[in-house]
Every structure is written in C-alpha cells, then in structure tokens.
C-alpha cells in the first residue's frame, strides 16, 4: 500500500530544502527523494567545492603577482591537498542534511523517483502518493551528440579528481569551462578551451569578456572560438579531440577531456508523461506560479524549472515561491530582477541587470560609463592589471540598469549594484553612500 504525503519533493538541493522545510513548518506531511547523496549540486558538486578550488588558485596567483613586491618564496598549488581540503567541506554534507530532515519529521527516500500517475510516484520499488509534488531534481550536463562523448568527464568528476593531468581540453566556453580552466592552469596544467560559437561566455558583456579572454591567453590558456568538436578518440592512455575550425580540421591531444558546454534540467528519468506533466525540448511547461500547466498537483523549482537564471539564489527564491503557493494558493510569482551572476575566474567576471545590447533594444536613453581601469588603486595594490567595468544608467530616471565588472573584488561589488537594481536606486543615491576606503566598493562612485 502506498504511503501518502501532502508534499513529495524530488531532489535535495537548495530549492528542495527551502520548500520542504517551509511546508513542513506549516504542519504538512513531507517526504524528499534523491538517488544521490543528500545536499544537491551547489553544496556537493558545484558552487561550494568549486569556490574552494578557486580560493586555493587565487591565493597562489596573488602570491605570484606579488613577487618582487614584498612576497617571495616558492608558492605552488598542491592539488591533492587542495582536494582534501575541499572534501572537509563536502563529505559531512549528506549526513547533516539527512539529520536535519529527520529532526523536522520529514521522511527521506533513496533511489530514483519516477511518476506512475498524476499524483503517484515510485522510488526503489516503493509506491508513494502525494497531494502535491515538487520537481527540484536539478540539472545535468547536456547531451553533445558527438562521437566519443562517453570519454568526456563531467564537472562533477573533475571536482573529485585526486590528481590533475598535464593536458586538459574543455569542451564548451561557458561558466564551467572558464572557471576550471583558470584553476587548472594555476595548478600547472596545459589547458585548451574549445567553443563552437564565435564568442565565449555569451551571457556576459562582450567587451569585458574580451578582456578576460586576453588575460586567459596571457596565462597560457588556449581559448579557441568557432571550433566545433566532432569526435573524441581514446588513444593509449590519453585522448585526441578532433574539431572543425573555420573549414579546416584540427586535433588537440589531451590527458583529460571535460564537458564544459552547459547543463539542462534533469528530467529524463522521471517519466513525466505518466503524470501528464507537459514538457518540450527538455523543459517543463510551467505557468507564472511555477506550476505545471497540465497537472496542477506538480510544481517545479530551481534548475529543474529553469525559469530564472540557473543560480543557487534563484533556486532558494523558487523554493520560497512554491512553498507560499502551496500553503496559501497560487498568488506569488518569482521575481528575478537584480540577480547577479559571477564567473569565478581569476580575476572574477560579474554582471547584473541589463546588458548594453538589451538596453539599446528597448530604446532606453543610456548614460554609460565604461573603462579599463588598470591604473586604479584597486588594480595596482593587487598587482592585477585586468580591471574594468561597464555601468548602464537610465538618463531620464537616473536609475541603475546594469553593471558589468571584471577584476579584483568584482564578485563582491556586484552585489551592491544588484541591490540598487532590485530596489530601483538611482546613481545619485549610490554616489552619496559612504563606503569604507580603500575597498573595491569605494570605486563605485567613480563608475557612475
């Protein structure tokens, strides 16, 4: 006989945790399901472990930049030690998450969930019934459709690598590729990034991306655009990546080939058709309340919904929205205004709000400030010449529309611009704020 719940959540990442805890606090019976260790992508296989590796690489890079400026010695990145440090954060997560669910009276199930009806599921052979079901199953590497795709490792496997091979090829030119490329290069690897489009990091401002690519190449990272990977062959202990570039064929030898070409909602194993949950081209069809348009018992949040940007704060926001709608009826819609994005390269690239192209397409009268500010104190004191910005302001209202930053502290300073955009602050209001000096934020007044 199937066990009944008021809410069953598929997944145990950020969106799942937020929604499950809020609904349970209201007295509902709740269960969560995951076929992987509990904790989700961000805590176990994404943001957190990645940032730990980036932190080590940043420390080493800063020491190198400061050679001859008061810092000496042989500083290097010890990959096994860095991975051990990373595991100190990730290894305890699953047990802590399960314990937290148990303390709140939330039932936990291990195994792959699949729909068997509109409000029924099966996990590890056990049937479950639910008044409501939340799909928060996250995302997975998208299929590339190339010969030899099975030889590519995912970002998750890269983050578990106890040793770092000498030659690494990253297929794709997005967040994952550039973050891994910068870290691996600081660890001594020879790194190549292959992107089939004419631009890498397409969601970001092209001028700042150009400055980052220039920096990447100075470091020795081989960034190739208009280069489409066609085949990956295993040869002996390594691989050969075959690609087409500008009408000619090229080969790239590698000891490791990494999938860095983006992720898609993890839906394939759920058997959505059995529940009458509409989907098209790998994405759920949802209404403005994050609810299935064809099965009102089903909601989605986070990367599985992919309505907002695929970022952890968005997953948390979605979880809150779904919980509110479950508890009080559909009334709350997600609001993704002012969500910042960061590429954790060294230095980091960050953006929030409108791009220049988007603003001009909307016919907004812009006041734009853009500068490569290598001579500013923030850059010079860090011995980091790659520093620049582009800030967009509505000429009529003086409101900040968008900010694009590259350089030291960009990952922190972008949050102030995000606050300004989300709360409709004007450039003048930001200018009158008194920031601690000298800090990255104290540059904001000169960017407006």
Q: What are the phi and psi torsion angles at 41 (to 5°)?
A: -65, -50
Domain boundaries, the chain: 3-141+264-328, 149-261, 347-447
- Pinpoint the alpha helices (H) of 91-234: 93-103, 155-158, 175-186, 206-219
CA angle (420 as vertex; 418, 425 as ends), nearest 5: 165
Q: In terms of Cα–Cα distance, which of 336, 339, 405 is closest to 376?
A: 405
**pLDDT score recorded for residue 262:** 87
Using DSSP's 3-state secondary structure scheme, residue 231 falls into: strand
CATH classification code of 149-261? 3.50.50.60
Q: In terms of Cα–Cα distance, which of 198, 205, 151, 202 is closest to 178?
A: 202
142 DSSP assignment: P
**CB distance 32 to 105 below 8 Å:** no
Structure-token pair, residue 158 = 């890269």
**pLDDT score recorded for residue 71:** 93
Q: What is the DSSP string of 14-42?
A: HHHHHHHHHHHHTT--EEEEESS-TTHHH
The low-confidence residues of the chain, meaning pLDDT below 70, are none
* List of E strands, 187-343: 190-194, 222-224, 227-235, 238-245, 248-254, 256-259, 263-265, 279-280, 283-284, 298-300, 341-343
Widest distance between CA atoms in the chain = 73
Structure-token pair, residue 445 = 């007044």
> 149-261 with 347-447: one CATH topology?
no
Buried/exposed 69-106: b ≥16 CB within 10 Å, e otherwise? eeeeeeeebebeebbeebeeebeebbeebbeebeeeeb
d(CA 234, CA 237): 8
Q: What are the phi and psi torsion angles at 185 (to 5°)?
A: -65, -40
**pLDDT score recorded for residue 24:** 98
Q: How many CB atoms lie within 10 A of CB 388?
A: 25
Q: Cα 231 vs. chain centroid, distance in angstroms?
A: 27
Mean of the per-residue pLDDT values for the chain?
Answer: 96
Q: How many CB atoms lie within 10 A of CB 35?
A: 16
d(CA 7, CA 24): 9
| Topology, domain 347-447 | Enolase-like; domain 1 (3.30.390)
**pLDDT score recorded for residue 445:** 95
**pLDDT score recorded for residue 237:** 87
| Topology, domain 3-141+264-328 | FAD/NAD(P)-binding domain (3.50.50)
**CB distance 20 to 144 below 8 Å:** no
- Pinpoint the alpha helices (H) of 195-338: 206-219, 312-328
d(CA 97, CA 104): 11
């Amino acid at each position: 006989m199937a066990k009944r719940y008021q809410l069953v959540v598929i997944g145990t990442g950020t969106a799942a945790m937020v929604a499950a805890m809020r609904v349970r606090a209201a007295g509902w019976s709740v269960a969560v399901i995951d076929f992987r260790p509990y904790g989700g992508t961000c805590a176990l296989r994404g943001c957190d472990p990645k940032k730990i590796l980036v932190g080590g690489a940043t420390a080493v890079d800063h020491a190198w930049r400061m050679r001859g400026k008061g810092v000496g010695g042989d500083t290097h990145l010890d990959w096994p030690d860095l991975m051990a440090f990373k595991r100190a954060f990730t290894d305890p997560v699953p047990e802590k998450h399960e314990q937290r669910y148990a303390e709140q009276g939330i039932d936990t199930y291990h195994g792959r969930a699949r729909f068997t009806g509109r409000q029924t599921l099966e996990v590890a052979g056990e049937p479950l019934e639910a008044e409501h079901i939340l799909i928060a199953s996250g995302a997975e590497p998208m299929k590339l459709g190339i010969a030899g795709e099975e030889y590519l490792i995912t970002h998750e496997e890269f983050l578990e690598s106890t040793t770092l091979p000498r030659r690494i090829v990253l297929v794709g030119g997005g967040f994952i590729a550039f973050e891994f490329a910068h870290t691996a290069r600081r660890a001594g690897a020879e790194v190549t990034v292959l992107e089939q489009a004419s631009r890498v990091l397409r969601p970001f401002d092209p001028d700042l991306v150009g400055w980052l690519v220039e920096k990447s190449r100075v470091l020795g990272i081989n960034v190739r655009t208009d280069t489409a990977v066609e085949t990956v062959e295993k040869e002996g202990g390594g691989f050969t990546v075959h690609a087409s570039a500008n009408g000619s064929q090229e080969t790239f030898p590698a000891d490791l080939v990494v999938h860095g070409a983006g992720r898609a909602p993890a839906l394939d194993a759920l058997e959505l058709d059995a529940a009458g949950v509409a989907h098209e081209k790998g994405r759920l069809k949802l209404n403005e309340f994050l609810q299935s348009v064809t099965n009102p018992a089903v909601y989605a949040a986070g990367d599985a919904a992919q309505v907002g940007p695929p970022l952890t704060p968005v997953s948390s926001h979605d979880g809150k929205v779904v919980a509110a709608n479950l508890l009080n009826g559909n009334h709350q819609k997600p609001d993704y205004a002012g969500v910042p994005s960061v590429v954790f390269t060294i230095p980091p690239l960050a953006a929030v709000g409108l791009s220049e192209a988007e603003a001009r397409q909307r016919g907004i009268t812009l006041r734009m400030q853009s500068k490569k500010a290598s001579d500013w104190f923030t850059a010079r004191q860090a011995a980091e010449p790659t520093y620049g910005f582009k800030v967009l302001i509505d000429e009529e209202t003086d409101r900040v529309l968008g900010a694009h930053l590259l350089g030291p502290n960009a990952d922190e300073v972008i949050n102030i611009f995000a606050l300004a955009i989300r709360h409709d602050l004007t450039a003048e209001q930001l200018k009158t704020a008194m920031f601690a000096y000298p800090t990255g934020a104290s540059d904001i007044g000169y960017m407006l």
